[in-house]
Chains A and B, each alone.
Chain A
Amino acid sequence: MSIERNVDLMKWSGPKRPYDLVKEFVIALVVVTVLVGACAAIFSSPDERAITLQDWAKKAPADFVATTNGELAGTTISASYGPPYNSAGEGLQIGPLKIQKWAGVTTPVNPATDFVINPLQLSTDLSIPASLQMWKAASLEEQTTWANNYASAIGKAGDYSKVVPDNSFGPVPSITSGLLAMAQGGQLDGILTTAVSPFPSDFTMPMLFIADGTYFDDLGAAQHLHGDQWGMMNETGSYPGQSWLWLFSSMYQFEPFKSSENADPQIFAVLMLLTLGFIFLPKIPLINRLPRLIPFHRLIWRRYYRENNL
């Protein structure tokens, strides 16, 4: 029954009532302004201070060193990411569609070079140039072996500061502690935020680095912001967040997406379909009949139906 009724198409010529739309808007604006002004005064808004590389290096030096070593070993998230940052991985895919790979490397990031080696060239530590020279002179295989050896030594000792020095680490301990000192002194923040341009507006470098560590991740988990904590909807503190993302957020909590490696693009694809459904909802059979089947409209127009004995 898709034939549209005459009365729906025609200009209404039945009885009318006074209803000043301009007045309605002005009243609405006043009410909303007062309401919002009051909410703002009573509840304020959250402002959890941003994290710097310096915060991270000072508060969690062990994590900083382990992550720096991970960048050298190529084992961190960003060092093995793939497009759009590098070619270290293939990225995710939806079935046979490797969209992430096809989109290509558009924001080039080489974590070992960009986060560690290049910044260290500005270090004032006199032992660093020799360490860097040794690193650069080595083959990729040697470099990886050093970093992996150091990683397992840290793993065994529990903390880089408890690791017994050993030649099998090559210059890696010197490099990681050199970068730690630069980060703790605050220089690394300046270097990485100006890596793309001396005018900082792009935080890709420092944020990819920070997000590779567990310090930042733990802060998010403590605020209930992780994806598997429905974090997409949540806000720091006790503020309401983006609750309108409930559907998006919920999909990560259930199978088949929960355990899928390709959950991101799969969920995106499903949401695109649902979005199309939402836009074209009036054309979807059955769903466009729901307003008739579940008669909320009897309530909305109850006076009209009553007055016309319908």
Chain B
Amino acid sequence: MLLSAISLNGPAKYLNWGAISLSIPNLIMIALIVLLFVLALAIPFPTHKGK
């Protein structure tokens, strides 16, 4: 069997805030979207000489 380096088969942790309940893995995926969006806007795109 190919063993994965990190086992994600155990139960997830959940953040509960009032009626909101969000699993840490889902939070990470959502945070990744926000992070990529921010980085895409913040990091300068490599420049080449324009034609």
- Tell me the A residues contacting B by CB distance below 8 Å: 15-18, 41-44, 46, 222-224, 229-230, 233-235, 237-241, 243, 246, 250, 253-254, 296, 299-300, 303
Contacts and interface: CB of A to CB of B under 8 A. Distances in A.
Contact of A237 (B10, B19, B48): B10
B36 interface: no
A44 B50 contact: no
State the 3 A-B residue pairs at the shortest beta-carbon distance, nearest first: A44-B4, A240-B25, A238-B12
Given A240-B28, A253-B20, A43 B50 contact: no
Contacts of B10: 237-238
B8 A238 contact: yes
A303 B51 CA distance: 16
A42 B5 contact: yes
Most B CB contacts (10 A, CB to CB) among A223, A224, A230, A296 go to A230
Most A CB contacts (10 A, CB to CB) among B26, B30, B47 go to B26
Interface string B1-29: 01011111111111000011111111011
Nearest to B30: A243
Contacts of B8: 43-44, 46, 237-239
Nearest to A253: B19
Contacts of B4: 41-44
A16 B23 contact: no
A224 B26 contact: no
Nearest to B38: A299
8 contacts: A17-B50, A41-B5, A224-B12, A233-B22, A243-B26, A243-B30, A296-B41, A299-B41
